[in-house]
Amino acid sequence: MAGFRQIVPTLLSMLLMALPNAAHAVLAQRAPGRAELVIYNNDLALVREPYALKLSRGRNEVTLEGVPRRIDSTSVRLEGYGFRVLRQSFDYDLWSGDRAFRRFLGDSIGYRYGGRTYRGRLVGIEGDDLFIERRDSVGVLTMMNRRSLSELEFRSSPGLATRPSLRWQVESAKGGALPAMLSYLTSGIEWTAEYSAEIDPGEKEVELSGWATIVNRTGTTYEDAKVALVAGELHRAGETPDRGPAAEEATPGAQAPGAQDLFAYHFYPVAGAMDLPYLETTQVPLVGPTRVPARRAYVYDAARDGSRVRVRLELGNEKSQGLGVTLPAGRVRVYEAGPGGMRALVGEDAIGHTPAGEKVKILAGTAFDLVGDRTRLSHSRVSRNVTEDAYKITIRNRGEKAATVTVMETLYGNWEITAKSSEYRKKDADTIEFDVAVAPGQSAALTYTVRFTY
């Protein structure tokens, strides 16, 4: 008997040692220090935030609630010294009435209707209608609109999160508060460039200014954050679907300094710190204001525009001309003072990423007083694989100012200009350009003959 009393405690101690230690539940707390956001202009941001973890020695279950609902959970990294991440998960099964009901499909429920309490089994859901087998009515299927029920009782909690949450299983060599850095990629936040070009009265210069517009639709607010913007086309292996309402405007932030190189892109750090509230648009200065030379140009491309003559504003982007900076892709609005000094919008266009030294061409609209016309005068077959066409392009100026119009012609295959009424420029293998000067109230024409060899 004495031997038995000795064996039992020994076996009990061995069993207790074999049982895994219960994990200590921990809520991740935001630590002092600024969040860092690197925002790209293709619906993406890299976020880094400092946290403090009050860990116990051994295994801990760490939870962080309220993360962006559009977070890329595969990019999440929780790093620090003194602990090791064993497992991480993203809980995005958020609570909703429909999800809660479907969690208990086939289970027993209690409900209150008309001042009485009933019990039964939830056997079906169709829209707002619940199909219940009542316990007090065997073989009877009751259909209830869930909006008519005043109280519901489930056997257990639905287990649905109210906010998107990250969870980690962490092993710590010692207990205490340990610093950690959380980093992740998220969609729902992006930036675009918005430019304003104010034309001087003499139309020789414009005052150009640019703002970066940051839109936050991530589902979370970033406060007192250090922000940098990246301009360039970042390649990604996949896309995150857009899920978010349109943003609203907010107040401007601090001025951004000049661009810096980052790999094959341009990096714009924003001075100081700024708040990026959820569902708000925030703007920070990006370029200027600065004065740059400008020229109004008219372009006629009959194949593309029919009889319309387009008007274009061309800006110099040289350092010697007052600019000479990289211009991220964005929208340009062109303004000019009208009669009486009233400022008017005279055009709007989108530009691509423009390096320093490259000319900026802004399509403002269609010239009201200029009309183009293109006519094929003749078509002949010179031989089996050679044809010849003659064209006439006429520009009519119904305005009170002289204009010079650049006529663009697209020629395919092997071609040769055999006759022409004015000189042309070969822009590329398939495009030539003529300059046609038209006096006020007059018309001007050019003709040319082109030979095609097939």
Give tens-digit pLDDT for 3-25: 434 433 443 343 334 344 567 88
- Per-residue 3-state assignment (H helix, E strand, C coil) for 379-437: EEEEECCEEEEEEEEEEEECCCCCEEEEEEEECCCEEEEEEECCCEEEEECCEEEEEEE
Burial class, 115, CB count within 10 angstroms (exposed 0-12 / middle 13-18 / buried 19+): exposed
| Chain mean pLDDT for the chain | 83
pTM, two decimal places? 0.71
- pLDDT tens-digit readout, 107-124: 777 777 877 787 888 888
Topology of domain 97-154 in CATH is SH3 type barrels. (2.30.30)
Helix (H, G, I), strand (E, B) or coil at 142: strand
Topology of domain 20-93+162-186 in CATH is Immunoglobulin-like (2.60.40)
- Number of C-beta neighbours around residue 155 at 10 A: 9
What is the pLDDT averaged over residues 192-218? 92
Give the residue with greater pLDDT, 213 vs 122. 213
- Which pLDDT value is given to residue 431? 96
At 338, the pLDDT band (50, 70, 90 cuts) reads confident
Domain ranges of the chain: 20-93+162-186, 97-154, 291-453
What percent of the chain clears pLDDT 70, i.e. is strictly above it?
83
In CATH terms, are 20-93+162-186 and 97-154 the same topology? no
Task: Evaluate whether 443 touches 408 at the Cβ level (below 8 Å).
Answer: no
Task: Evaluate whether 26 touches 55 at the Cβ level (below 8 Å).
Answer: yes
17 φ, ψ (degrees, to nearest 5)? -70, -30
Question: From its phi and psi, is residue 16 left (phi > 0), alpha (psi between -120 and 50) or beta?
Answer: alpha
- Which pLDDT value is given to residue 255? 35
- Which pLDDT value is given to residue 275? 95
319 φ, ψ (degrees, to nearest 5)? -60, -35
DSSP run (H or E) holding 192:
strand 189-199
Give the Cα separation of 254 and 252 in Å (integer): 7
What is the pLDDT averaged over residues 237-251? 41
- Which pLDDT value is given to residue 258? 52
∠444-347-428 over CA atoms, to 5°? 55
- Which pLDDT value is given to residue 214? 95
Task: Evaluate whether 170 touches 152 at the Cβ level (below 8 Å).
Answer: no
- pLDDT tens-digit readout, 155-168: 655 555 567 889 99
- Which pLDDT value is given to residue 19? 41
First to last CA, the chain: 110
